[in-house]
Structure formats: structure tokens, C-alpha cells
Structure 1
Amino acid sequence: MGLTKHARRVLQQQASALLAEHVPRLGADRRRILTALLVETAGNWRLFVRADPPDARADAFLLGPEGLFAVTVAAGPPERPGLHALVRHAEESCAGIRDGRGRELTGSAVHFVLITPGPPVALPDPGPFRVLAEPEVAKLFKRTAPHLTRRQIDAIGEQAARILDGYVPLRVRPPAHEASAAGFLDAGRLVEAEVAAAQLRPFDSWLTFLHPHQRAIVTRDYRGPARISGPAGTGKTVVALHRLRHVARRSAGPLLFTTFVRTLPPVHEAAFRRLAPEFGGRAEFVHLHAWVRRFLTGRGRPVEVDARGVRTAFGRAWSRHRAVLEPIERHDEYWRTELDRVIKGRGFTTLEEYRRPAVRRGRELRLGFEQKAAVWQFYETYQEMLAERGLHDYNDVIDIALAELRRQPLETRYAAVVVDEVQDITLNGLRLIKELAGTGPNQLLLVGDGQQQVYPGGWRLSDAGIPVLGRGEVLRVNYRNRTEVLAFAQQFDAVNEVDDLDGASGVALKNAEAGNTGGAAVSWRGTEADLAAELTRRIAGLTAPLGQTALILFQRQDLVRCRRILREAGIPVLSLDDYSGAPDDHLKVGTVHRAKGLDFQAVLVVEFPAGAGEGGAAADEAAELRDRQRLVAATRARDFLWWGVVEDVADTDGAAG
């Protein structure tokens, strides 16, 4: 607020008089601090002050661009029974507030703030509170990352005035002779802040509002592991982040959010710090293999993977066995996946285990008794090649960590573990997660969608001994993609049958309900010679900010070709390998594997020819896998999607779109 010292003194006098009139029995500490908060309502803030004497409720609710705060004035947090009552009251009091899109203000969106009178003090256990000393109150009003627009603040304020029982809405006005200047300055700053935020990213209304079904999942009490599934764009990760905060308020101990996708943790960590900054020190966001390596190092058993050495070991093993295996399936990549996702990924240690009748989920080729014996010999040779050089592959690292956890469980257990994009984790990886998370009430939440699996192979959660019967949730409404983008993505069949990650029927993207209208999806076909001009033209014509746009490819070699085009055109880029979710003005570029779990205002996809297919199980699996990858790529776009297909010259009939 741009006010003179005189105007601020006048506001302080107004605030003091209002509090004396409406809340006469305030103690000195509460009066001083609430006066300081009330002065800020001359800008774009609202204050609701408790009219009754102190009890197990927040002293005030503060509403502004940064969200909704339940404010307690005290020397320290209340003891556990009173603390739980305070949290429950604040969350439930705001539950009836809605926006214009049928969404509800979720209790996990309420920020809890403890303001201690006098100078800063160190509190050993602040619980769910962000702690500020009296001289630090101004930090609440710094516009760092606005959650709410001015219209949303007005709407929430009107509803809160009606439903916050026992709280009085109070607000001060600038002095008359400065009202126009102060009001203009405040409005100008607000508009400037909103425009700046909109350029970086849309206002993240998910931080405050959820749809009723989503909100119910956030607060549900699960008596064991739970699972959230659903098509792309249905808000699974948003629900998971809110639930992590909800559980954190009701527990003690560290929190873990993990995934198989290496690039997702820093993005989700940034989002969680906006949602729940008070739990930043408790919450750990790390991809699964990084967690495993750190765990083993802490146990005195550091293991690193030499990817080049592993590839060499596989190549030498393949050269010995290709004469036997090529007549069954000629592509060595198929057999690499058989080792990675079936034999080692499922934890088979003997030929007898491998030979047992089982559903080979995600594998087209059915192997007979003797064929499996030949594959097992190939596997044993590969293991020998690794052992000769003292090497381990990624599956070995998981196996070592799993054995170590079973030998000696974690000394400090996680209060809650959330696993995102769970469909891409191997079965042994799931067993590891079960060991580190446990199966107690509200301890483990698994989030994923079988239709978005971008690696071959599959499993059911029950295969890992993780019971979720009666604790499975399926989200059906797509809130991310606008109608035209969603319709384009729905053309990719990506397998006709979709399960809920445990064998039951799930919801495919083609059956998802659309939550947002509008948008645009454009197609283009042409030669590689035409691609450079078309791609740069499309990027130049984007209405979305460059920093809110991504270019997605399907293969690493395709990524190299397109980066060359962008470099020659002078377009600033940031690899998705290095993307943390922080706002910038660079085009994001990466493969579909790195784009998993992310979304952007605009997305450009370039698909190069996949090469001549020769039929067979490997070709069938590759085609099915590519359709799932296409679906993932298309659903990263919120408002605009451009899909470019590069064809061989002989196959090109012209460009379109």
C-alpha cells in the first residue's frame, strides 16, 4: 500500500477504534497485532476477527491475494488436543465457500499462522503453523506468488462474512483526502501484480479450490494404503499434494513424495511449497532411484550405475544368445525389456519362478517352456557380464535396497508417502515402496493411470502385496485440457482396456468428462526440410508466453534435430531435464518421458517417422506403447496444441493445418 505516514497513523486509529467497538475484551498483545493486520485491509485484504473470548479457535481469518490464513496470536502453539480442535474448526468453517465453477474451498488450502508477541523466538515444534514474530507481520503481505484474483477475494469475503460464525468482518478505509491517490496506487499495484503473475503462469486456483469429489478424497480417512487413478488431466497430483498437507497436519515425522520420473520432484516440490510452506522442512521430494542411492550410501553400501558399462554387458550377452532368441523375436530391445521389466523388474530369482504360469501384463509375445529356458540362460549370461566388471543396473540397486530395508527397517518411519506416476515403477520397486512406507492408516497413497504408462510391462498392486480393496478412487473429469485439446488427445486409442492399477475396470481418456470449454488443436504434415520454417513460424505466432510453452519429442535423436532448429532461429530453450517449475521466458524442450506429469499453456509436438516395421510381438508392443506416449504428449497442453508429423518425402501428400 502506498500511503503516507499520516495516512497510516489515521488507519491505525481507525483499526484501534473498530476493534474496541466490536471486540472490546482483547488483551494487549492481540490488540496490537490485530490492529497491524487490520491496517492492511485498506488494500486488497479482508480481516475477520473472533468476537468471543479466547478458546480453541483461530483469533482471526485473513484473506488476500496470497490466500486464506487462520491467524493465532500466542507465545507458542496450543497443546495437541487444542491444536487439533483449532485445525479442525478452521478447515470445517471454510468448507462451504465456493467459486463460480462448482468448486469448493478445501480445508487443506487454509494457511495456519502463529504470530508471537515481541521479538522472534525459536519454537522447537511449530506444528502446522508458519511462525512470525510481531515485528515480522509485514511478511504476510508480500506479493510473491498470488493465489487469488481480486474477484475471487471479493467472492470469498462475501461468503466468509456469512458463514464464519462468531467472527466479525472488519475493514478500514484510507483518509478521504488520500483515498483516490491511495486507492489508485493500490489498485495499480494490484493490477501490476496480477498482470505479472499472469505472464508467468495463470493464477493457480487449485491452491484454494477443489471440486467436491477431489476435496472428499483429500480428507478421507483410509485404514490402509489408498490409490487414486483416472485419465490425464483429472487432477490426481493436485489431490495428492492437498492430501499430503492434510495428513501432515494430523501427524508427526517426515513426509515423502516420490516418483519414477526424474524431472517431476522439483516441480511438485515448488508447488507444495506454495501450498504448504510450513511443511517445507518435513516434506522430501525425490525420484525413487535417487532416494535408493542416498539410502544405501547412508547404510554404508553406496551403489552407482555405469550406464555405458551396463549397455556393454547387455551387448556381449546378446551376441552369445542372439542365434537362439532372434528366431523367436529378432529385436534385441524386446529382450532388453524382458530382462528389465519382467525377470528383474518382477524379482524372479530362479527359472522355476519365471516358468510359473502368470499373466504377462504388457507383453504381446507368449513364451513356451523351452523358450523361457533360453531366455533365462541369456539373463544368467548378462548377470555374469555385470559381475565380471563389478557393475549393477538400476534393477540391482532396487533389489539391494529392498533387501537392506527388510534386514533393517528405517529408524524413523515416514508419516506419509505419496507415489506419483506409479504405473511406470517396476513391481520390485513397488515392493520397496511398501517396505519404506508401511501399510498403516493413511501412510501410503499411490497415484497413477495405466493408460499413461510410457514403459513396457505391467503389474497389479496386489502383486506387490499392497492391499487397496475398498480404498481405490477414480477421478473422471478432465480439468486441465480445454475441449478441443481433449478431443484431439482422445483420438489416440492407447489400448481399449484400462484398469485402475489393480485389475478392475478404470476410466479411459476417451470416456473422460470435459471440464473446460474452448482451446485449439492444429495438425501439420510435411517433410523434414519444411519443418524448420513451420516450427519457427508456429512458435512466433503463439499467444501463450514462451515460458508457458513446451516442445515435446518421442526420441532423443529427434530432440537433437529440433534443438538445432531452435538454436539457429535464436529461440531460448530450457531442457525439461533442468526444469523445476520456476517461471522464466524459455521454451521447454524434452522427450515425452521427461514431460510426464507436467502441463503447459501451449504444447508443440513433433513426431518423426518411427522406422520401417517388420511385424511381430515387438512391433505390436511398440505401436501400443507409442499410442500411449502420444496420449501423454497431447494431454500436456492446457489451451493450445500443435501436432506436427514429419513424413518421408515419398509419403508426403502436402502440409495441412
Structure 2
Amino acid sequence: MNLSRHAERRVHQESVRLLASEFPRLAPLPRRVLGALLARTVGNVHLFVRQDLEERGGDRPDAVLISTNGVFALIIAGERPDEQAARAAFRHAEERCAGITDHRGRVVPVSAIHPVVVVPGAGAGRTVRAAGPYWALPETDLARLFRREDAHLNRRQVDVVARQARTRLDGYTRLEAGLPEARPETAGLLDAGSLAENEVEAAQARPFDSWLTFLHPHQHAIVARDYSGPARISGPAGTGKTVVVLHRLRRLARNSTGPLLFTTFVRTLPAVHAATFRRLAPEVADRVEFLHLHAWLRRFLQSRGRAVRVNARGISTAFARAWTVHRENLQNLEPSIDYWRAEVDRVVKGRGLTTVDEYLRAPRRGRKLRLDARQKEQVWALHETYQAKLAERGLHDYNDVVSLAEEELVREPLTESYAAIAVDEVQDITLTGLRLLRRLAGDGPNRLLLVGDGQQQVYPGGWRLSDAGIPVQGRGEILRVNYRNRTGVLDFARGLDATNEVDDLDGGPGVVLGQVEAVNGGGECRSWSGPAAELPHALLGQIAAMPAPLGQTALIVFHHRDLVRCRKLLREAGIATLPLEDYTGAPDDRLKIGTVHRAKGLEFRAVLVVQFDSGEPSGGAAREESTELRNRQRLVAATRARDFVWWASVR
């Protein structure tokens, strides 16, 4: 709540009086800190303070703060507390508050309680890293506990948590300053327009971020579970797989030493999830690396003095020149160069095959076009010529980078191993990438967590975890409740003709989007179809009538060439855009724009999907495979939206 300066002074005076009445012998530091926090309780903030604060020991936190930013357990200390004592104190708050439920039956997990040590002195607006697993905050930086951009609970949720906490926090007193009584001379205590501003903020809030504090009981159980070996989480779009991963990372970081790694094949996700994790777990944010898989590989190879040269245009040229040599042998089977490039990229090199005999025996999961031995030998010849063309130019493709990194790991493992590795969108990683991650994680409990959904696979080819030597029997989880998409959006996505039979990433029966339980009502989808000449008028008209801010909206296409067309259209119309590859989750007013490959794993209040008609492979099996892949990509695009989808089909 926004107060005038006069009102702030009155509230501060009330806070000082209340503290002096409740705790007359309170030391200066806790008096200053609690006075500042107490002044905040005129808004949607609840403060619980230890009744024995003046004779406090180290077995409990000094205060528990509940606000729209979550639940905070606070120790106010003149110097950094002993780590063991701090752990015991924070554990007390976790045990008291964990399990509090909201009106939807979701629970507050241990991983959602923020441990904070408030230390004396001035800060520089930055978190001070403590020796223990907590957030160390200078007293002058207390405002960081109330940053608007970190708010993720509404008033109802805060009140529900505070009401239940009051019955659980034995030995604590709830303190509240309250607004001064309205008098003629105190007119204008509230800044003009503050109530309207609060209403606007509430309308633009991101309620799907409430998972920072609340989890479904099934999600909570997975977060708290210990796995004796590699584990797998699968489930359709919107079921909260990444939510579980981030909470598990926080829990594991609190209870382990050494670095942790979050990685994925999708380049856009690490930066977005890193920013979210800093909101969820500021006390351990520097313990977890969020890095795109190939960025990690190239950094690792550079640290070992292994030079790699990856150039997308040069790689495409090398394959195109190899294709001209072998086109006559393969084009009658399938004339599309893209099909054969995927065969080499995802099957031959993606499975780490090194001889033609291995290729002759290898399964080709996900590939509809059957190849006999002679045809496979012709593909192998294409592969060898492609490798020669790369070598002529001193280039490496992405599969080469994986292979070089694994060779280096075999030669010399990491000096400091990771305490845990989480892999998101695992269904799109190659088999060689999986094997490398298995080696990188090593053996032991909770070391490797694989997360994905076969129905959202946007690249051709496939595998099972057993192919990579990753046993997950008895350590597999399937999520079945959709928390992201409103019913109208979910029903639209269910109507897309995506593959309706998938496995759980290891051959067992999986769950598809049509089988999930929906929990959010409402939502709207609109469709438009017309020639390319009419697209500008239709798209710009829809943008002008969007039910969500442009900053929380994404435009998604299926090919890079279509991205170029749409970006030009928007630029000429004066609409500010942000490429998805540059998106970090930070709020702004720009329309996000990118291909479906860059949109994977992200979510927005509204999504504009523009689908241009394109030529399909001519062969029956290849056409079937291409259509199946496109339908999965369409499902991914639609399920990025929480509230609204506009779908344009351009003829």
C-alpha cells in the first residue's frame, strides 16, 4: 500500500510505540529491523515475533514474515550465526509452516520457506552471500523482501497462509501497526490513485507464479523424495515439471555441497529459469548453474584447450555439398534434403554410431521411412562425405562437440563433480547427449533428474532412456494435472492432431494432454485463415485488441523464414519486439517473437501463432513423419498460452 510521507511517519511512530510496549528491553538492532518490518504491516503483510525475543536462544527464528512475496524466516544477528544453529532455527520454521494449504488444496513445501539472516550495516542493494545456507541481508536492504517484481501471491492467499501460521507458531505473537485513525488533519494519508494502482497491478499479476510458494501435494511429494539413482519425471504440457525441478534444486542445494547444474537442449530456457530460481532461492542461487547444453560443452572444451569451430551456415553448406554427391542415390526414396540431414544428425551421429555395421543394426525410432541394408549403406556414404566436407573447412557440428566433450571426460573427469544435474526438455536431446550427461552426473542418490514429455518432441528421431544406459525403474514419476492453461486454451490444444500415444521416455505408457485434469477455468481461442496479403491487417488488428499486455504476449511461428516475414511486418508497423533467444523473463513492454523451437518450455498470458502453408515431403512414410512432427510442434505452440490464443493459418 502506498502511503504519503506524513502517513509513513505516523506508522513509524506507531511501530516504535508498539515494540516498546511489547519488548521494552529489546536490543538496538532487532528494534530497528522489527520497527521497519512492522511498518509494512499496514499493507498485506503479517509479522510474527518470538515472545521470548529479549532472551532469545538459537533454536528458533526471531520472526516469521508472510507477504505477497512469500514466507520468510528471519534471524536478526549482530554477526553471522553458527551454521548448525542457523539450520536448526530455520528447520523449526519449516516444520511449523510447511504443509499449510491454500483454498485449492496446494501445500507450502519446505523448499518455499525463505531463510534470511539480517545483519547490521549498509548494503549496496545486493545480496551478501553467507557461509551458511541462508540469504544474508544488510538491515538497510530490507526493502528487497518486498520488491513488487517478486510478488506472486494475492491477498487471499496471504491471508490463508497467515491464518494457519497463527495456529502453528506457538510462542510467537502477531504484531500489526495499523493505519492511524482518519482525522481531518490527516486527510490524504494515502497517495492519490494508490487504490486504482493496486487494482491495475492485481489485474496484471502473474498468478501462475504462485507455485513459488504453493505446490500440489503430488508435486510436493516428488520434491521431497530421495531417489537411489537416476530419476525421470514425465507429463504433458503445463503439468508443472519444471516447477518440481526448481524446488528440488533448492532442496538439494540446501542439503549438499558442491555445484548443481540445470541444463537443456533449448537455448532460451536457462536464462529464464535462472531468473526465476533467484526469486525462489536467493540464498543458494549462486550454487546452481543454468546453462544451455552446448554452451556448457563448449565452455568445458575451451577449459581443456580443445578448440571447436561451430558455424551454422558453414555446417549447412557442408551438408548441401555432400548431398549433391549422393542425391541421385537417395532422392527417389525421399527428395527432401532436410529428411536426410535429420537422418545423419539425429540417427547416425545423434546415436554415436561409428561404423556402417553399427548403423545397419541400430534402431531408428521415430523414423517412418524404412531403409534396407543397401539404402543404409548409401546414407552412411552421405555421412562420410559430410564429415569430409566439415573437415575441409575445419568445422564441427553440434554432435561433434558432444563427442569431443565425452572423449575429454573419459580422459580426465571433472576436478569438482556436480552434486546434482537436472535436464529439462530431455526428449529433444540426442542419445549421445544423454550418455554424456549420465557420465557427467556419475553414480549416487539424487545425482541425475531427467524431465520431459514425448508429446512435445519437436525434433525427429527418438530413443529410450535404457538406450543410454540410464536405469530409472522404480524412480519414474508422471504428472497428470495441468496448472498452466485455462480450459478454453487447453481444449483448443487438445483438438490439435498431435500424437496421442507416447511412452514415459523409457517404453512404458505415458500420459498425453487429452488425459490431464484441468484446474483453471476460462480462457479463449480465436482463429483466422486467409491469404498472405491479408495477414498484416488481421495480425495488427488482433494485436490492437489483445486481452493481455504485449509484454506478456508471444508471437510464435514454425520456420525461420516465417520469422523474418513477421518481424519485418511488425517493424514496419512500429511494434517493438524482443527475440525469444534474448528473452530472460524480465518484464518489459515488447512483444516476444520466435520459432516454436525457441518457445519450448516458456509460458505467456497470450500467444499469437502464425502458421504458413509449406510444402510437405512427397513420400508416404516421410510425409507421415513430417506431419506428425508438425502436429507436435503445433501443440507446443498452443500450450505456451495461459489465457488466450490467436491462431492464424496463412494460405
**TM-score calculated relative to the size of structure 1:** 0.92
2:406 corresponds to:
402
C-alpha distance 428-256 of structure 1, shift in aligned 2 (>3 A): same
- The answer to whether the 8 Å contact 2:528/2:647 transfers is yes
Q: Deviations over 1:16-40 (max 9, x none)?
A: 21235xxx8x666545543443343
1:446 and 2:450 are equivalent in the alignment: yes
Contact 1:16-1:35 at 8 Å conserved across structures? no
**How far did residue 352 of structure 1 move?**
1.9
Q: Once the two structures are superposed, what CA deviation does each residue of 1:398-456 show, in whole Å capped at 9, x if it has no partner?
A: 10011111211111122222111111110111111112222321222111101100000
Distance 1:7 1:349, change over 3 A: closer
* 1:88 Cα offset (Å): 3.2
Distance, in Å, in 2 between the alignment partners of 1:322 and 1:212 is 56
Corresponding residue for 2:580? 576
Instruction: Return the match for 2:105 from 92, 97, 102.
Output: 102
> Which amino acid is 2:304 matched to?
R
Contact 1:74–1:116, Cα closer than 8 Å, also in 2: yes
CA contact (8 A) 2:11 2:39 kept: no
Report how far residue 41 of structure 1 moved.
Answer: 2.3
Q: 1:302 aligns with which of 299, 307, 316?
A: 307
Amino acid in structure 2 at the alignment position of 1:72:
I
Indicate yes or no: 2:535 matched with 1:537. no
1:481 and 1:317 mapped to 2: Cα distance? 45
List runs of 5+ in structure 2 lacking aligned partners.
Answer: none
Query: Residues 19 and 35 of structure 1 are in contact (CA less than 8 Å); yes or no, is this contact kept in structure 2?
Result: no
Gaps of 5+ in 1: 648-657
Aligned to 2:333: 328
Structure 2 counterpart of 1:161, from 155, 159, 166: 166
Q: Cα deviations across residues 183-219 of structure 1 (Å, max 9, x unaligned)?
A: 9528965763563475374572111111111111111
* Counterpart amino acid of residue 351 in structure 1: V
Q: CA deviation at 1:387?
A: 1.6
**Is the contact between residue 15 and residue 172 of structure 1 (CA under 8 Å) also seen in structure 2?**
no
Query: Structure 1 residues 32 and 575 mapped into 2: Cα distance closer, same or farther (>3 Å)?
Result: closer
8 Å CA contact 1:11–1:174 kept in 2: the answer is no
Superposed displacement of residue 498, structure 1: 0.7
Deviations 1:517-570 (A, max 9, x none): 111111222111222211111111112111111111111111222223222332
**Cα distance in 1, alignment partners of residues 258 and 18 from structure 2:** 44
Aligned residue number for residue 359 of structure 2: 354
Q: Provide the C-alpha distance between the structure 2 equivalents of 1:527 and 1:353, rounded to a whole number of angstroms.
A: 48
- Which of 374, 377, 380 is residue 378 of structure 2 equivalent to? 374
Could you say if the C-alpha distance between residues 206 and 183 of structure 1 is closer, same or farther in structure 2, counting changes exceeding 3 Å? Answer: farther
**Conserved 8 A contact 2:11-2:177:** no
- Residue of structure 2 in register with 1:653 after alignment: none
Superposed structure 1 runs of 4+ greater than 6 Å apart: 119-124
Correspondent of 1:284 among 275, 285, 289: 289
1:34 match: 34
Identity among equivalent pairs (%): 61
1:48 aligned partner: 48
The alignment status of 1:340 with 2:345, answered yes or no, reads yes
| Alpha-carbon shift at residue 292 of structure 1 (Å) | 0.7
The equivalent of 1:654 in structure 2 is: none
Deviation at 1:610, TM superposition (A): 1.9
Q: Please tell me whether the aligned partners of residues 200 and 584 of structure 1 are also in contact (alpha carbons under 8 angstroms).
A: no
Distance 1:75 1:15, change over 3 A: closer
Letter in 1 for 2:50: R
> How do residues 205-604 of structure 1 correspond to structure 2 at under 5 angstroms?
205-356=210-361, 358-604=362-608
Aligned equivalents of 2:199, 2:260: Cα separation in 1: 33
CA 1:583–1:125: 2 relative to 1, 3 Å: closer
Query: How far off is 1:572 after superposition?
Result: 1.9
Query: What's the offset of the Cα at 1:509?
Result: 0.7
- Once the two structures are TM-superposed, the CA of residue 598 in structure 1 deviates from its matched residue by 0.8
Shift of residue 512, structure 1, vs aligned partner: 1.2
Equivalent residue in structure 1 for 2:151, among 146, 150, 153: 146
d(CA) in 1 for partners of 2:504, 2:447:
20
Bigger shift: residues 66-75 or 111-120: 111-120
Distance of aligned partners of 1:608 and 1:118 in 2 relative to their CA distance in 1, 3 Å threshold:
closer
Contact 2:14–2:177 (8 Å) recurs in 1: no
1:253–1:413 contact (8 Å) kept in structure 2 = yes
Give the match for residue 75 of structure 2: 72
Partners of 2:129 and 2:237 lie apart in 1 by: 41
Q: Is the 8 A contact 1:450 1:501 kept in 2?
A: yes
- Contact 1:609 1:646 (8 Å CA) reproduced: yes
Matched residues in 2 for 1:167 and 1:10: separation? 20
Task: Tell me what 1:655 maps to.
Answer: none
Corresponding residue number in structure 1 for 2:209: 204
User: TM-score, normalised to structure 2's length?
Assistant: 0.93
The SS at the match of 1:61 is strand
Instruction: Find the partner of 2:627 among 617, 623, 630.
Output: 623
Q: CA RMSD in A?
A: 2.5
Change (3 A) 1:7 1:271: closer
Cα distance in 1 for partners of 2:140, 2:590 equals 39
Give how far 1:150 is off: 2.5
Number of corresponding residues? 642
Residues 129 and 283, structure 2, Cα contact 8 Å, conserved in 1? no
What secondary structure does 1:522 align onto? strand
| Residue from 633, 643, 646 that aligns with 1:642 | 646
CA distances 1:284-314 after superposition (whole Å, capped 9, x unpaired): 2111111111111111113120222222221
Deviation at residue 118 of structure 1 after TM alignment? 5.5
Change (3 A) 1:569 1:118: closer
- Deviation at residue 319 of structure 1 after TM alignment: 1.5
- 2:105 corresponds to which letter in structure 1? G
CA distance in 2, matches of 1:39, 1:54: 25
| 1:507 Cα deviation after fit | 0.2
> Kindly tell me: are residues 139 and 477 of structure 1, through their superposed partners in 2, closer, same or farther at Cα, counting changes over 3 Å?
closer
Aligned to 2:95: 92
How far the C-alpha of 1:470 sits from its partner, in A, is 1.2
1:546 to 1:181, Cα distance in 2 relative to 1, 3 A? farther
* 1:293-352 deviation digits (Å, cap 9, x = unpaired): 111111111312022222222122212212222233332221111110011101111122
